[in-house]
Amino acid sequence: MASIDFKPFDADHHYYEAEDAFTRHVDKKMQRRCIQWAEINGRKRLLVGGKINNFIPNPTFDPVAKPGILDEFFRGNNPENKSIVELFGELEPINPAYRDRDVRVDQIKQQGLRGVMMFPTLGVGMQEALRGDPEAACAAFSGFNLWLEEDWGFSYQDVLYAAPYISLMDPEWAVKEVEAVIARGARLISMVPGPIPYGEDGGRSPGHPDYDRFWSVVAEAGITVAYHSGDSGYRRHLEMWGGNAKFKAFDTDPLIGCLSASAIHDTIASLVCHGVFERHPKLRVASIESGSDWVPTLIAKLKKAYGQMSTDFQRDPVEQLREHVWIAPYYEDDLLQLKSTIGAERILFGSDYPHAEGLPNPLDFVHELKGFSDEERKLVMHDNAMSLLS
C-alpha cells in the first residue's frame, strides 16, 4: 500500500479522566447525589448516586492497560483461550499524555496525526448510572464539562477537539448547556446512543417533540453530535436472556456480542423514522466506536419501511441516513462492505487510542483500507473528520 503523504485526523481518541473530573466543579451539596470517591476495603471506589459503580474496574486509571493490548482478541483471535485478565498482562503507570494536554499534543504529533477528536472514558457510563435522578445527572455533567474545558479545552492548539457531554434527560438543561459550550468554543458534543432515560425505567426516542429545541440549536450552530458507545442501558436485553444487566467494561459473556439489540442501530433508526433529520436538515451525526455491522441491516429495514408506507417519510429514509450520518467503524469490520453501503465520504478513521481494545499505533488503521483508492483513503483518514469540525 502506498505511503500516506498527508497527516491523518483521528476521530476517536480518549483521555483518562482526572479523579476530580466529576467533583471539581460540582456543588458540594449535590456531590452525594452525583459522584464521589470512597475507600472500601483499602481500595478506592467510585460511588455514583450513593452506589458503588463498576462501569470501569479501576476508575483511577493508575495503573492502566497498554494501548492496543487486546487488538488480537477484538479481531476474534485468542487461540490459547486466555482470560481477559491474562490478556491484559502487566499494567503500566498512567502515561502523562493521557491526562496532560500539552504532553498529548506532542504525542499526537509524534504519531504523525494532524489532530484528534477526544472522548470520555469514564464519562460515557455515568448517564445510565444516574438515570433515576435527572437533576443530579445534569449537575454532574455541567461540572464535567467545566473540568473538560479547563484540563483539555474544546479546541486546543487546533489539535485536540474535546467533546463536552450532553444528556437529554432534562431538555431545558440540555438546551442551556449546549448553548453554553457552543459559546465557549465547542466544535462537537458527545452523547451515548440509546433511548433517552425517562423516569426510573422508562425511555424516550430522541425524536420526541420535547427535544426539538435542542436539535434546532445544534443544527443551526453547525456542530456535530457524536454518539460514542457507552452504557446505553441495553444490558436489560441481556438480562431477559438470563445474563447480567450491569454494564462492566470487558465483560466477556459471548451472548453480549451475539444478541441483535444494538443501541446505535436503534438510535439512528429513531432519528430517521421520527423525522429529526427532516425537521433539522443541517444536523450532522457521527457514530463513534459502535462498529458498522448494523449499517446494512438498518438500511434494509429503512428500505422496507419506505416501500410499505412512503407517506410516513418526507424524504427517502436511506438517503437521509447517507446524508446526515458519518460512521467510525471498528478497524476489524468489513470496510469494503461499509464503503459500498454508505460511500467512502461517510467513513471516519478512529483508532480508539489509548484504550486496550484500540490500535497501539493509530496510523495502522490505513492497512485496513485495502481496496480503497488513494482519494478514498484521504477521505477516510482526514477529510471526512475535518469536514465535521468546520
In this predicted structure, the answer to whether residue 21 has a pLDDT above a threshold of 80 is yes
Got the DSSP string for 253-294?
-HHHHHS---HHHHHHHHHHHTTHHHH-TT-EEEEESS-STH
Please tell me the predicted confidence (pLDDT) of residue 251.
60
Query: Is the pLDDT reported for residue 39 higher than 50?
Result: yes
> Rounded mean pLDDT of the chain?
94
The tens digit of pLDDT for each residue in 201-255 reads: 789 999 999 999 999 999 999 999 999 999 999 877 767 766 665 666 656 556 5
pLDDT digits (tens, 9 = 90+) for 283-323: 999 999 999 999 999 999 999 999 999 999 999 999 999 99
DSSP 8-state code for residue 89: -
pLDDT tens readout for residues 312-370: 999 999 999 999 999 999 999 999 999 999 999 999 999 999 999 999 999 999 999 99
pLDDT of residue 287: 98
Q: Which of 28, 224, 215 is nearest to 140 (CA)?
A: 28
Task: Check: CB of residue 138 under 8 Å from CB of residue 167.
Answer: yes
3-state class of 200 per DSSP? coil
Top-confidence residue, 85 or 62: 62
CATH no., domain 9-23+96-388: 3.20.20.140
Closest by Cα among 271, 256, 326 to 295: 326
- Distance, CA of 278 to CA of 324 (rounded, Å): 10
For residue 54, pLDDT over 50 is answered with yes
Does position 94 have pLDDT exceeding 80, yes or no?
A: yes
Q: What is the rounded CA–CA span in Å between residue 285 and residue 288? A: 10
pLDDT at 1: 42
* Residue 82 pLDDT > 50: yes
How far does Cα 358 stand from its chain's mean position? Answer: 13
pLDDT higher than threshold 60 for residue 157: yes
Least confident of 98-112, 165-179, 231-245, 358-372: 231-245
Q: Which residue has the cell 491474562?
A: 86
